[in-house]
Amino acid sequence: MEDPGKFLAVMRQTAPLVHNITNYVAMNVMANVLLAAGASPAMIHAREEAAEFAGLAQALTVNIGTLSPPWVQAMEEAAAAAVAAGRPWVLDPVAVGATGYRREVGARLVARAPTVIRGNASEILALAGAQTAGKGADATDAVAMAHAAARDLARRSGAVVAVTGAVDFVTDGRQSAEVANGHAMMPRVTALGCALTGVVGAFCVGQEPFAATVAALAFYGLAGEEAGAVAAGPGSFQVAFLDALAALTAEALTSRARIVCA
């Protein structure tokens, strides 16, 4: 496995402009996480400008958390523009199994050739068309239950698929890896998964998507460990997490990442 610290160093050196079409819950959290990590966020979702901006930004992320038809048009047009410009784009299928509308939009976005799909186990199972116990934005399935579905989705879509949870799983359908960094407080703070999707987008700028995604997950999980060591609960965790993202060095990531080939 490649040195994850190198991917963090390149991301910070690039300080990429990341265009995010994300949900109302995540906008502020995600922008602060991207800034703390070393990237430059822009939250832009109007159909009139989304495609134009996606052509300017260095990466695009699309999140269906609070979707509605005009947003979905903007998502599809922005994704097409990112693909045409040769830029990476990352799909976050929030609660994709919850309703027929979400399932339909999820399938349409997968057909737009995302570079990476990042979701929790219940979301990846639903997107792959498998059985899931998931209903809302939180996972109710274990990551291991989604390994096969993730491999299948990766082969079918051509995307790198990242399933996050207690131990993250990343696959491109041929090679796979597990990332064991993280903290149990992370799923108790809203939008940390959404914000991670932005960090994955930032790491993919100019870097190979499978290894970049693995490095992004280790970086994020390690910052979670640092925050968990000092936080009194989910509130102070959120503040400590931003500080940890900003403070983590490439050297610390290289020495403390817990990545294994799977």
Ligand X SMILES: Nc1ncnc2c1ncn2[C@@H]1O[C@H](COP(=O)(O)OP(=O)(O)O)[C@@H](O)[C@H]1O
CA distances from 31 to 77, 105, 119, 212, 224 (A): 22, 24, 18, 20, 17
Task: Report which of 200, 205, 225, 193 is spatially closest to residue 215, judged by C-alpha positions.
Answer: 200
C-alpha–C-alpha distance, residues 96 and 106, integer Å:
6
Q: Is 221 in the site for Mg ion (CB under 5 A)?
A: no
The answer on whether 43 is annotated among ligand-binding residues is yes
- DSSP 8-state secondary structure symbol assigned to residue 15: -
Q: Is 254 in the site for ligand TZP (CB under 6 A)?
A: no
Sites for ligand X among residues 174-193 (CB under 6 A) = 182-184, 186-187, 192-193
In the complex with ligand X, which residue's Cβ is closer, 51 or 193?
A: 193
Among 191, 218, 231, 259, binds ligand TZP (CB under 6 A): 191
Among 23, 157, 164, 176, binds ligand TZP (CB under 6 A): 23
The footprint of ligand X on this chain (CB under 6 A) covers a number of residues equal to 18
Q: Is 193 in the site for Mg ion (CB under 5 A)?
A: yes
Question: Do the Cβ atoms of 245 and 163 come closer than 8 Å?
Answer: no
Q: Nearest 5°: CA angle at 72, between 68 and 74? A: 120
C-alpha–C-alpha distance, residues 69 and 248, integer Å:
39
Sites for ligand TZP among residues 128-157 (CB under 6 A) = 137
The answer on whether 30 is annotated among ligand-binding residues is no
C-alpha–C-alpha distance, residues 89 and 256, integer Å:
28
Sites for ligand X among residues 203-232 (CB under 6 A) = 217, 220-221
Q: Is 94 in the site for ligand TZP (CB under 6 A)?
A: yes
> Which residues contact ligand X (rule: CB under 6 A)?
120, 138-139, 164-166, 168, 182-184, 186-187, 192-193, 196, 217, 220-221
